[in-house]
Structure 1
Amino acid sequence: MKIEKNSHIVTAAAPKRKWKERAGFLFKFLLGLFFISPLLIGFVFSFVPSEYLNNLPALQTILDNLTLDNYRFILDYIPIFRFLSNSFIVCAIIILVQVLFSSFAAYAFSFFKFRGSKLLFQLILVAMMIPAEVTVIANYLTIQNWNLINTYIGLCATSLLGGTSIFMMRQSYMQIPKELKEASLVDGCGDMRFLFKIAMPLTIPTIASLAIFLFISAYNMYFWPMLIAQNTDMQTIQIGMAMLVGTENVEYGHVLAGAMISIIIPIAAFIIGQDYLIKGMTSGAVKG
C-alpha cells in the first residue's frame, strides 16, 4: 500500500512538473523575443521605402510596399564589399597577433617563476581598467609620426595586445597540471614545443572564445578607424555605414539596409561560437 501511495504521488506530480517546464520555456521565449524585437523591426523596415519611414507606418502600408530598393542602393552606390574586406583584414590581424602574444605572456606567467611576476601581472590587470579614450591622442600622434595613417598596421596597432586576452589565457593555462609540464621536460619537450603541441591544443575553447570576443570588438571599432582611415579605400564597415547618415535628410531605409548587412556577420559569429564563448569565459573560474 505504501509503494502504491508513493507511485500515485509521483504520477500526480509529473503533469505539474511538465506544466512548469512549458511555462518556463514560454516565458524565456517571450523574453528573448522582446530583446530581439528592435532587430526584427529594423529588418522588416529595411525593406520599406524611406518616404514611409518618416512616420511610423501601418502594418498594411509595410506589407504593400516591401521592396529590395534599399539593398540595391547599398550594393550600387556604397563600396560595401571593400569596407567588409577591410574589416575582415583588420580582424584577422588583431586575432592572430593578440592570440599569439597573449599565449606567450600567459605561458610565462603560468609556468615560469621569476622575480616581479606577480607585480607585473597586477600591472596588466590595472592597465585593463584604463579607458582607451585616455591614450587616443598619444597613440594617434605616434601612428602619425610613423607614417602609418591609412594602413592596416595603423588600424591594428593599438589592439595587438590586451590585458583581457592575457588574463583569459593565463587562467586557462593554470588548469594544465604541472605534472604534465614536468613529464614533457623529462621526455625532451622544450617550452615552445610544449606550448604549441600541448598547451594550446588543450585550451582550444579559450582560444576560440577569445577569437570571437576579439572579432566582435575589432569589427565594431568606430572611433579609432575614423581617425586612421582617412581614405575611402581603407575605411572599415562601421565607418562606411556612417556615410549613409546625411547632414540634412536621412534615408532611414538605406541606413537600416546597411545596418542589417553589417550586423549579420557578428551575429552569425556569436551564434556559431556561443558555446566556446561561454566555456572560455568560465575557464579558470575555480583555480588560479
Structure 2
Amino acid sequence: MRRRPFTVLALLALAALFLFPFLWLLSASLKPRERVFDNSLWPDPFTPANFSEVWQAVPLPLWLLNSLLVGLAAALAVTLSSALVAFGFAYFRFRSRNLLFGLVLGTMMLPAAVTMVPVYLEWDWLGLGNTQVPLWAQNLFGSAFFVFLLRQFFLSQSREVFEAARVDGASFPRLFTSIALPLVRPGLIVVFVFELKNSWTELMKPLIYLRDPDLFTVPRGLKAVLDRFGQGGEAQWELVLAASTIATVPMIVVFLLAQRYFLSGLTTQRR
C-alpha cells in the first residue's frame, strides 16, 4: 500500500509524457500563424477559425468518409479471414501442421518493400490501380500476426466444447460461426481495432494506388494538405495542424468506445 502513491504518480507522469504531443498539436492548431511554434500550450489568441478554414479549403469530410469505409472493410476482412485460418490451425490435427504454421509466421519476416512492386503490378493488371480496392482487399487473405494471435485465443478454449458440438451434429462451418467465434469475441475485437487503426494511419498504399483526390483517405489527404499549405516562406502550418487534429480525433473516439472490449481481450489472452 505504501508504494501505491508512487505508482500513481509514475503513471500520471507517463500519461502526461505521452499526452504532451497531442496537447501540443491541439494547442498549435488553435494559434494564429505567427505563434504556431512558440511552444506555449495555451493558444493566445485563441483561433478556432483555423478548423473552419481548412474544412472549407479541402474535402476533409469526403476523406474521412473514405478512410472510414476502407478501414471498416479492411478490419472486417482481416478479422474474419485470420480467424478462419487460426481456427483451422488450432482445431484440426493434420500432418505437417506445425511446419505449415511456421511458414505462415515466416511471412512476417518478409519486408513489405520486397513485394510492393509485384503486388502493384497485379492490381494494375486487374484494372484496379486507381481504386480503393487494393487498400483493403489484400486483407481477405489474412495476416500472419493476427493468425498467430487468434490461434492462441482458440487454443485457450476447452476442446471438449467443440467435440461436444460435433457429437450433437454441428458441421465445421457451424462450429466456427456459432461456437468458436463467440468464445473468442474479445480477441476478434482486439484484431478489429488494431487493423482499423492501421488502416486509418496507412500512408504508403494510398500514395501508391490513389491518384484521384476524390478517392483519398485521410493520410493521403494530409499529404496533399502538407504539399499545399506547408511549403514556402508563407506556409500555413496552423491549417496543416488543424487538419491533423481532425484526423486524430476519430481514432481517439474509437478507442474510448472499444476500450472495455479491447482491454478485456488483452487481459484474457494474458491469462
Provide the TM-score with structure 2 as the length reference: 0.91
Alignment of 1:1-288 (within 5 A): 17=1, 20-53=3-36, 55-56=37-38, 62-63=43-44, 65-160=45-140, 161-246=142-227, 247-248=231-232, 249-281=234-266, 283-284=268-269
Conserved in 1, the CA contact under 8 Å of 2:24 and 2:41? no
Contact 1:174 1:284 in 2 (8 A): no
- Does the aligned pair in 2 maintain the 1:210–1:277 contact within 8 Å? no
Secondary structure at the aligned position of 2:115 is classed as helix
What per-residue deviation string (whole Å, max 9, x for no partner) do you get for residues 146-193 of structure 1?
A: 110222212223333210111111111111211111111111111111
**How far, CA to CA, are the matches of 1:138 and 1:236 in structure 2?**
23
Distance in 2 separating the partners of 1:57 and 1:110: 52
Alignment check: 8 A CA contact 1:95 1:211 kept: yes
- Using the alignment, how far apart are the partners of 1:188 and 1:243 within structure 2? 57
Q: Is the 8 A contact 1:106 1:167 kept in 2?
A: yes
Equivalents in 2 of 1:157, 1:198: separation in Å? 27
SS in 1 for 2:6: helix
Task: Compute the displacement of 1:275 (Å).
Answer: 4.2
Matches of 1:222 and 1:128, distance apart in 2: 20
1:225, 1:239 within 8 Å by CA — same for their partners in 2?
Answer: yes
Identity between Structure 1 and Structure 2 (%): 27
1:142 maps to a residue whose letter is: E
TM-score with structure 1 length normalisation?
0.86
Q: Distance in 2 between matches of 1:169 and 1:50?
A: 48
Q: Deviations over 1:119-152 (max 9, x none)?
A: 1110111101212122111111111111102222
SS in 2 for 1:219: helix
For 2:237, the aligned partner's letter is Y
Q: Does the Cα contact within 8 Å between 1:48 and 1:253 map onto a contact in 2?
A: yes
Stretches of structure 2 lacking an aligned partner (at least 5 in a row)? none
CA distance in 2, matches of 1:250, 1:124: 47
Q: Tell me how far apart the structure 2 counterparts of residues 206 and 162 of structure 1 sit (CA, whole Å).
A: 14
Instruction: Tell me if the contact between 1:155 and 1:229 (Cα under 8 Å) persists in the aligned partners.
Output: no
Q: Is the 8 A contact 2:77 2:137 kept in 1?
A: no
Q: Cα RMSD between the aligned structures?
A: 1.9
> Per-residue deviation at 1:99?
1.3
- Give the 3 Å change call, closer, same or farther, for CA 23–153 of structure 1 in structure 2: same
Check conservation: 2:27, 2:41, Cα contact below 8 A.
no
- Higher Cα radius of gyration: 1
Contact 1:47–1:70 (CA under 8 A) maintained in structure 2 = yes
Note the residue ranges of structure 1 that are not aligned, 5 or more in a row.
Answer: 1-16
